[in-house]
Amino acid sequence: MGPRTHGVIHVIQLQHAAKVFRNEETRQHVQALEDVSLEVEENEFVCLLGPSGCGKSTLLNLVAGFERPTTGRVLFERRPVTGPGPDRGVVFQEPTLFPWLTCAQNVEFGLRSLCRDAGDRRQIAHRFLTLVGLDSFARARPHQLSGGMKQRVALARVLALNPRALLMDEPFGALDAQTRDRLQDELLRIWETHRKTVLFVTHNVEESVYLADRVAVLAPAPDSIIADVPISISRPRDRYSNEVREATMALMRVLADLPCCVLPSGASQRGVHASGAFETPQREEPHEWSMP
Ligand code: ADP
Ligand code: MG
């Protein structure tokens, strides 16, 4: 159980978390995150939105336990995060399946540490492949699947571990629009029936509005979370409704003024301080923030 504040249980907490990476080759320090505080309640669906390079993956990796904060604290259910654990299921943009294993074996593999009995593992894998609509592909291998199907297997593998939270890093970013829409709906269905806490990273404004209870907008360091926007549109949502469009436009306005970190290779970045001086980044072409 997470800490209760006025009846609210915070599952994920970042308290003034900062992360500095050091590039051993160039000896530059990269301030990926600076003084980020964020709380995610139990069963809440929070999207972390921001331009490329602003530190979204770094933040998620801190919660996942793949990285440690340079300063500040990262707590999961009140305890400091010291490493990855089965209580936090991570889904990446590129599904990392073992190509030599079948779909079922991929799901079963993740269960080995939690469940000793092979028969039980098989049953659980079957249940979760069914949940994502892939029971008939249990014996297929990843190369026989489309990108969306692979991502479904990755999701089944994570859900089979029954994590308390799902940490998703642009999980649908590499999919075509139609497949992405379908997987968003599937994720919402699963989230509504299995009640998980979700931290979902995206740079796609519409996606964040469609999915989230709340959108936290992350700006590049030295800025932090510059807006925390509740999305109170009732569910199930209609992605083509005026409400969704208006909320999307309002968020796009917030993002329009943000600097972007994507620079040609070799160029300096905001937040990169080899000599202590900050440089203003160039603006990226605004395609990611343009109207649908
Ligand atoms: P986003 O996910 O928002 O695109 P990231 O969290 O991946 O951003 O990266 C934030 C910043 O930190 C970028 O400038 C990136 O180059 C830098 N960075 C991320 N990981 C590392 C690393 N392991 N070593 C050095 N720099 C890193
Ligand atoms: Mg990223």
- The model's pLDDT over 153-195, given as tens digits with 9 standing for 90+, comes to 999 999 999 999 999 999 999 999 999 999 999 999 999 998 8
Pocket of ligand 1 contains residue 56 by CB under 6 Å: yes
User: Which atom of ligand 1 is the closest one to the Cα of 23?
Assistant: 25
Per-residue model confidence as pLDDT tens digits over 67-102: 999 999 999 999 999 999 999 999 999 988 999 999
Domain boundaries, given as residue ranges, for the chain: 4-87+163-289
| Residue located nearest, by CA, to atom 14 of ligand 1 | 53
Looking at residue 5, its pLDDT comes to: 56
Phi and psi based region of residue 170 (left: phi greater than 0; alpha: psi -120 to 50; beta: remaining):
left
Looking at residue 8, its pLDDT comes to: 82
Mutation to probe ligand 1, out of 24, 30, 31, 49 (largest number of atoms < 8 A from CB) = 30
Looking at residue 97, its pLDDT comes to: 95
CATH architecture of the domain with range 4-87+163-289: 3-Layer(aba) Sandwich (3.40)
Pocket of ligand 1 contains residue 136 by CB under 6 Å: no
The structure's pTM equals 0.86
Average pLDDT, the chain: 87
Residue ranges of the chain whose pLDDT lies below 70:
1-6, 259-292
Strands 214-218 and 45-49: parallel
Pocket of ligand 1 contains residue 109 by CB under 6 Å: no
Neighbouring residues of 97: CB distance < 8 A, sequence distance ≥ 6: 103, 106, 142, 150, 153, 154, 157
Torsion angle (degrees, nearest 10) of CA 125, 127, 132, 136: 80
Q: How many CB atoms lie within 10 A of CB 189?
A: 12
Mutation to probe ligand 1, out of 14, 19, 21, 168 (largest number of atoms < 8 A from CB) = 21
Looking at residue 290, its pLDDT comes to: 33
d(CA 32, ligand 1 centre) in Å: 6
Looking at residue 3, its pLDDT comes to: 56
User: Which atom of ligand 1 is the closest one to the Cα of 54?
Assistant: 3
Neighbouring residues of 177: CB distance < 8 A, sequence distance ≥ 6: none
CA R_g for the chain: 19
